[in-house]
Chain A
Amino acid sequence: QITLKESGPTLLKSTQTLTLTCNFSGFSLSTSGVGVGWIRQSPGRAPEWLAVVYWDGDNRYLPSLHHRLTIMMDSSKDHVVFRMTNMDPVDTATYYCAHRKTFYGSGSYYDFWGQGILVTVSS
């Protein structure tokens, strides 16, 4: 059974750096096609995809936020770390990590999600 859980600070001040950890079980980040992504959702808004790290260590970022984001998997490949610099009140959101599965011939999708962590940024 695949499970993911986000952890990290729930309250930050403007300009601080957010560091979140995604601990997961039930899959291996060494498996070809697998990835772990981060998606956030501001209150009352649609989700916004932010970043993904792939089984081979490659990563992708949302272009508009690329300069602020870092995603990496731990050398043990049993958790993923996400960082977002220069936080602002508009970055207040629930941040989710999710398992990315490749459905061969149909693309790659996020089929298991963590419960999310609400991060509030104050000015």
Chain B
Amino acid sequence: DFQMAQSPSSVSASVGDSVTITCRASQGIGTWLAWYQQKPGRAPKLLIYGASSLQSGVPSRFRGSGSETDFTLTISNLQPEDFATYYCQQANGFYAFGQGTRLDIK
């Protein structure tokens, strides 16, 4: 089975901090990877596609990088509205999601 392993499962940070979330694919997927943000009771929101392209309207403090099996999402200068759960998703087949990373306020 194709799997996406995301870490950490949770992280605490303060407003103004930077955080990095990683995602590892069980096999190479080129740059066919997305990052989503989800807030409680809401649908996931597309942030990054193609591993590093910013979706329209998403602030530039969100940055994605990586290729093949190793990917990262970095959020710089955290804002209050950034505290949410983040998921990676591969787009090279059956769109498997990572387990999620919950970002809490410290």
Contact = CB atoms under 8 A, between A and B. Distances in A.
Interface residues of A, number: 24
A107 B94 contact: no
Contacts, number: 60
A47 B87 contact: yes
Interface residues of B, number: 23
- The A interface, classified by DSSP as helix, strand, loop or mixed, is strand
Interface string A58-87: 001011000000000000000000000000
Contacts of A98: 43
Residue among B53, B94, B95 having the largest count of chain A Cβ atoms under 10 Å? B95
Given A46-B100, A113-B44, A116-B43, A107 B92 contact: yes
Nearest to A63: B94
A47 B50 contact: no
B44 A47 contact: yes
Given A46-B98, A107-B32, A110-B46, 17 more contacts: A39-B95, A46-B100, A47-B87, A47-B89, A49-B95, A49-B97, A103-B50, A106-B31, A106-B49, A106-B50, A109-B34, A109-B49, A110-B34, A110-B95, A113-B44, A113-B45, A116-B43
Interface of B: 31-32, 34, 36, 43-46, 49-50, 53, 55, 87, 89, 91-92, 94-100
